[in-house]
């Protein structure tokens, strides 16, 4: 049926020889693919200060970079639209995204092991920037380099929203800049305006004031709002629960959740340090003082009127609970507004949600004599360059960092999946200004008044402690706060336990 | 003289040997080494160099006195220091309250979970060893959980235990938000997944008992309980011992369900030993302490297994 050659190859090679050849080929292929797969590629064409801008952008054409980032809208948007960058530079960028705790673990291992599998990192100020600050390249070295392309608006403090560059770029001193602000997650209040209007009269009859959110709404009032909704629900009405906190696994969001309440009451902070710059030697913590114990108790009381799954919900789940119409209010990061306004996935979409600044401190709850403010905290996500990478890789990475944080890129991301601009100039674009009112094609812009006009401005802005042991600190707070909220210990015991562990952490 | 073809066999063995050396022996040895050290990785300033400042054309910028303007370039270097700390990491584990909490959580999980799995597995095996309707179909359904990925199961049960709108919400039980119930939830998920394994092995063992033996035993007693107590159970004992051992070793390493279902919370109410060790190592980057914790667990498991096998051997002898 088939023609068999007289002396076919397979007959001239013994089985043993065949296996030897096969094994050798497989080994060579495996080793080759590992070598190719693990290595970045760098090619360079020399440029000079006097070279054209085009030549400066293209000097690393043919190179390949890897960017490890959080699964946030800017990274998704940039990953889906890398073609303009490739066309501009000829550099291929692979963007890997994951949950922030995973990103933190992966970049931590990469940086501390002296490797550079990820040349560019998402440098979230506290969980990544603070512990690994020393492992990032000083971007000012590149910013002053005439042989590299630079952003026409520059990268000085004035180019970004106030405090942003310091928050993610300056760690412990102003000596170095380790990251440029790439995105931001600023806390503000999301609330169901439709329900607030519907039940306002009933609430007013009970409490003597209107059920509404203003910049002067206090944490005490938020508690009363939440208790009101819970009471309605328990009476059999078809209403969501009032409120829920940030718990679950994102330890730093639990820390931020109680911190904004603490800061609102007399601008209390965890350590007596420059909050924006952070400190490697923060000294004794303020946990355990009268303010912290009092507010911890209020936080515990607040939990009692929250959604029943309060302790099981991390930040992402909390947003899903709000999207599902199960709560009427959440203090959430403004990057989530796009998901709330998506009518395909959210029951809170279609004009039902309004946005306000974080609640203000209740004057009668202030114990340290400080002012009542709209304590607002945030995470400024920077883009940083792994200092373990070679000089050329760092330079190529800088080109990407400049492009990724430019005004045009941030504007495109905002128009696309919903970015969170860090450059002031983005807000000056007429389309963005128009988008701050409904109807809007940029849902995140609906939060801009609460976030950029109130939240990030002093005296409301609080960053959270930037200390090398930030992750240990967050874990301690999460553990003790949840033990308190779940009834395992009193507020005072929780605060004293935090103090003991945190001071022990700093050998005090 | 060794022929070339004889040497080839070593070449073929080489990948396996390299694999074991690289992925088993080296990590094991290295983690023992780490467990006796404090590992510090830091960037230090290794030097400062004066470099000329260049203008846009690449020429040196001159000072008013005609000398080239310079700037200081700081050289940084990554330094790793391993400080021998004797048994400090091990001693720390005994002082660490979170370790004791993790031991308590893991112990409760193992004791309640594994015992329930074995008892339920036995009961189900007894049931399925009889002629019941649709036995084959039900048996197939029963063993499905074994093949599911624990991570996926964790997420699945997160939705099941969800208090508002979850399928178990009618119970009114705070499955995930109450510390005691959260641990119960983790145990329930493990029981759900691993009881079928016990059931399957016990069923095979039951079906392996010769009919003649059971028939002759039935001539002596009409009590099903006596039959179990004096005939079936003694014959199943070696199988039960093996299943117990396998489940014990696996349960002591509880990680994936906790990681997906509760993340160790609320607080640290469901933080198992391995989950805590993982957090210490990969979240807090304290590799020395995490390695020491891992080896302490290894020692505990080895002691349990050794005692177990010794007891088993004695019972046979």
pLDDT digits (tens, 9 = 90+) for B151-179: 899 999 999 998 888 899 888 888 988 88
Is B50 part of any domain? no
pLDDT for the residue numbered B4: 59
**Are residues A143 and A99 located together in one domain of the fold?**
yes
pLDDT for the residue numbered B315: 74
**Secondary element (H or E) of residue B73:** strand B70-84
Nearest CB partner across the interface for A134, out of B11, B43, B279: B43
Q: Does B57 contact A23 at a Cβ distance shorter than 8 Å? A: no
Which letter, b or e, does each residue of A462-478 get, where b requires 16 or more Cβ atoms within 10 Å of its Cβ?
Answer: bbbbbbbbbbbbbbbbb
Distance, in Å, from the CA atom of B282 to the CA atom of B296, rounded to the nearest integer, reads 18
Q: Does B43 contact A131 at a Cβ distance shorter than 8 Å? A: no
A480 touches chain B (CB under 8 A): yes
Is B265 part of any domain? yes
Is B302 part of any domain? yes
Check if the beta carbon of residue A279 is closer than 8 Å to that of residue A271: yes
Query: What's the CATH number where A330 sits?
Result: 3.40.190.10
Q: How confident is the model at residue A491 (pLDDT cuts 50, 70, 90)?
A: very high
Is B6 part of any domain? no
Positive or negative: CA dihedral A194, A199, A201, A207: negative
Q: Is the pLDDT of residue B123 over 90?
A: yes
Is A17 part of any domain? no
Is A44 part of any domain? no
Nearest CB partner across the interface for A308, out of B8, B98, B174: B174
Q: Find, in chain A, the residue whose alpha carbon is nearest to that of B182.
A: A312
Chain A environment of B178 (Cβ under 8 Å)? 311, 486
- Kindly report the nearest CA distance between residue A499 and chain B, in angstroms: 15
Q: Does B177 contact A478 at a Cβ distance shorter than 8 Å? A: no
- Residue that wins the pLDDT comparison between B10 and A241: A241
- Residue that wins the pLDDT comparison between A463 and B136: A463
Q: Does A480 contact B267 at a Cβ distance shorter than 8 Å? A: yes
Is A42 part of any domain? no
**Are residues A298 and A157 located together in one domain of the fold?**
no
pLDDT digits (tens, 9 = 90+) for B187-242: 999 999 999 999 999 999 999 998 888 888 888 888 888 888 888 999 998 899 99
Tokens of A162: 């106030």
Percentage of residues of chain B with pLDDT beyond 70: 94
Q: Find, in chain B, the residue whose alpha carbon is nearest to that of A137.
A: B76
The mean predicted confidence, pLDDT, of chain B is 87
pLDDT digits (tens, 9 = 90+) for B256-270: 999 999 988 888 899
**Are residues A128 and A195 located together in one domain of the fold?**
no
**Are residues A112 and A254 located together in one domain of the fold?**
no
pLDDT for the residue numbered A204: 96
Is A20 part of any domain? no
- Kindly report the nearest CA distance between residue B136 and chain A, in angstroms: 39
Q: How confident is the model at residue A7 (pLDDT cuts 50, 70, 90)?
A: low
A109 touches chain B (CB under 8 A): yes
**Are residues A214 and A329 located together in one domain of the fold?**
yes
A130 touches chain B (CB under 8 A): no
Is A48 part of any domain? no
**Are residues A234 and A366 located together in one domain of the fold?**
yes
**Are residues A337 and A353 located together in one domain of the fold?**
yes
Check if the beta carbon of residue A348 is closer than 8 Å to that of residue A323: yes
Q: Is the pLDDT of residue A503 over 60?
A: yes
**Are residues A385 and A366 located together in one domain of the fold?**
no
Query: What's the CATH number where B279 sits?
Result: 1.10.3720.10
The residue range of the domain holding B252 is 89-316
> In a 10 Å sphere around its CB, with 0-12 CB exposed, 13-18 middle and 19+ buried, how is residue A357 labelled?
buried
**Are residues A98 and A58 located together in one domain of the fold?**
yes
Q: Is the pLDDT of residue A10 over 60?
A: no
Number of domains in chain B: 1
**Are residues A79 and A159 located together in one domain of the fold?**
yes
Percentage of residues of chain B with pLDDT beyond 90: 44
Cβ atoms < 10 Å from Cβ of A14: 10
Is B57 part of any domain? no
Number of domains in chain A: 2
pLDDT digits (tens, 9 = 90+) for A390-431: 999 999 999 999 999 999 999 999 988 788 999 999 999 999
Model-level ipTM above the cut of 0.90: no
Q: How confident is the model at residue A31 (pLDDT cuts 50, 70, 90)?
A: low
The residue range of the domain holding A275 is 187-376+453-505
Is B299 part of any domain? yes
Nearest CB partner across the interface for B76, out of A249, A307, A387: A387
Q: How confident is the model at residue A28 (pLDDT cuts 50, 70, 90)?
A: confident
Q: Which DSSP string corresponds to A158-208?
A: GGBSTTHHHHHH--SSSS---EEEEEEEEEEEEEEHHHHHHTHHHHHHHHS
Q: How confident is the model at residue A18 (pLDDT cuts 50, 70, 90)?
A: confident
Q: Please state the three-class secondary structure of B232-301 as a single string.
A: HHHHHHHHHHHHHHHHHHHHCCCCHHHHHHHCCCCCCCCCCHHHHHHHHHHHCCCHHHHHHHHHHHHHHH
Q: How confident is the model at residue A368 (pLDDT cuts 50, 70, 90)?
A: very high
Q: Does B285 contact A480 at a Cβ distance shorter than 8 Å? A: no
Is A123 part of any domain? yes
Q: How confident is the model at residue B304 (pLDDT cuts 50, 70, 90)?
A: confident
Is B240 part of any domain? yes
Is B282 part of any domain? yes
Distance, in Å, from the CA atom of A333 to the CA atom of A336, rounded to the nearest integer, reads 6
**Are residues A84 and A117 located together in one domain of the fold?**
yes
Q: How confident is the model at residue A152 (pLDDT cuts 50, 70, 90)?
A: very high
Q: Is the pLDDT of residue A2 over 80?
A: no
Is A30 part of any domain? no
């Amino acid at each position: 049926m088939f023609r068999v050659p007289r002396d076919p190859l397979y007959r001239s090679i013994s089985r043993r020889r065949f296996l030897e050849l096969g094994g050798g080929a497989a080994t060579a292929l495996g080793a080759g693919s590992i070598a190719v797969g693990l290595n970045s590629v760098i090619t360079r064409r020399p440029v000079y200060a006097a070279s054209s801008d085009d030549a400066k952008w293209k000097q690393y054409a043919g190179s390949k970079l890897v960017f490890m980032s959080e699964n946030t809208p800017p990274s998704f948007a940039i990953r889906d639209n890398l073609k303009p960058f490739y066309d501009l530079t000829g550099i291929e960028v692979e963007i890997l995204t994951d949950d922030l705790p995973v990103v933190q673990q992966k970049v931590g291992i990469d940086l501390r092991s002296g490797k550079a599998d990820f040349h560019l990192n998402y440098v979230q100020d506290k969980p990544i920037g603070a512990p690994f600050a020393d492992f990032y390249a000083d971007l000012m070295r590149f910013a002053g380099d005439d042989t590299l392309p630079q952003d026409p608006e520059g990268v000085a403090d004035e180019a970004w929203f106030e405090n942003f560059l310091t928050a993610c770029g300056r760690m412990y001193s102003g000596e170095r800049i380790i990251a440029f602000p790439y995105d931001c997650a600023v806390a503000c209040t999301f609330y169901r305006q439709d329900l607030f209007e519907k039940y306002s009269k009933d609430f007013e009859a009970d409490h003597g004031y209107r059920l509404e959110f203003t910049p002067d709404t206090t944490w005490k009032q938020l508690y009363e709002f939440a208790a009101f909704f819970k009471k309605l629900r328990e009476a059999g009405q078809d209403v969501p629960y009032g409120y829920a906190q940030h718990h679950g696994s994102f330890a730093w969001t639990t820390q931020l959740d109680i911190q904004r309440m603490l800061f609102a009451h007399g601008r209390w902070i965890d350590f007596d340090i420059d909050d924006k710059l952070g400190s490697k030697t923060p000294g004794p913590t303020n946990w355990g003082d009268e303010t912290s114990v009092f507010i911890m108790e209020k936080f515990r009381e607040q939990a009692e009127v929250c959604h029943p799954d309060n302790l099981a919900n991390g930040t992402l789940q909390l947003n899903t609970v709000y999207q599902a119409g199960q709560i009427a209010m959440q203090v959430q990061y403004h990057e989530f507004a796009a998901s709330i306004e998506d009518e395909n996935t959210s029951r809170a979409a279609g004009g039902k949600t309004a946005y306000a600044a974080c609640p203000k401190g209740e004057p009668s709850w202030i114990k340290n004599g400080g002012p009542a403010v709209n304590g607002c905290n945030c995470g400024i996500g920077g883009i940083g360059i792994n200092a373990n990478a070679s000089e050329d890789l760092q330079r190529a990475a800088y080109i990407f960092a400049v492009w990724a944080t430019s005004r045009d890129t941030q504007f495109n991301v905002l128009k696309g999946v919903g970015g969170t601009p860090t450059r002031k100039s983005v807000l000056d674009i007429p389309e963005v200004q128009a988008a701050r009112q409904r109807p809007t094609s940029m849902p995140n812009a609906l939060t801009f008044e609460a976030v950029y006009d109130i939240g990030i401005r002093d005296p409301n802005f609080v960053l959270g402690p930037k200390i090398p042991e930030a992750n240990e600190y967050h874990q301690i707070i999460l553990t003790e706060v949840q033990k308190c909220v779940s009834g395992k210990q009193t507020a005072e015991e929780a605060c004293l336990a935090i103090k003991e562990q945190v001071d022990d952490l700093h050998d005090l | 003289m060794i022929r070339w073809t004889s040497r080839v066999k070593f070449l073929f063995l080489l990948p396996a040997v390299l694999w074991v050396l690289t992925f088993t022996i080296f990590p094991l040895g290295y983690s023992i080494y780490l467990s006796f050290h404090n590992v510090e990785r830091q960037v230090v300033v290794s030097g400062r160099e004066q470099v000329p400042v260049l203008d846009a054309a690449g020429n040196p910028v001159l000072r008013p006195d005609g000398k080239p303007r310079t700037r200081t370039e700081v050289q940084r270097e990554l330094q790793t220091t391993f400080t021998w700390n004797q048994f400090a990491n091990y001693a720390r584990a005994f002082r660490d309250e979170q370790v004791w909490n993790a031991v308590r959580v893991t112990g409760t999980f193992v004791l309640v979970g594994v015992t329930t799995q074995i008892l339920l597995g036995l009961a189900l095996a007894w049931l399925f060893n009889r002629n019941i309707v649709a036995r084959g179909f039900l048996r197939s359904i029963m063993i499905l959980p074994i093949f599911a990925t624990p991570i996926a199961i964790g997420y699945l049960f997160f939705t099941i235990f969800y208090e508002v709108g979850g399928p178990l919400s009618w119970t009114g039980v705070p499955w995930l938000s109450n510390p005691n119930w959260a641990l119960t939830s983790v145990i329930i998920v493990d029981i759900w997944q691993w009881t079928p394994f016990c059931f399957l092995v016990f069923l095979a063992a039951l079906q392996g008992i010769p009919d003649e033996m059971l028939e002759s035993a039935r001539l002596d007693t009409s009590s099903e309980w006596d039959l179990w107590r004096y005939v079936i159970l003694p014959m199943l004992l070696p199988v039960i011992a093996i299943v117990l051992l396998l489940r014990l070793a696996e349960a002591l390493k509880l990680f994936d369900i906790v990681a997906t279902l509760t993340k160790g919370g609320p607080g640290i109410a469901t933080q198992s030993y391995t989950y805590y060790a993982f957090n210490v190592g990969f979240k807090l980057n304290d590799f020395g302490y995490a390695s020491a914790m891992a080896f302490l667990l290894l020692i505990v498991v080895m002691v349990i297994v050794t005692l177990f096998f010794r007891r088993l051997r004695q019972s046979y002898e």
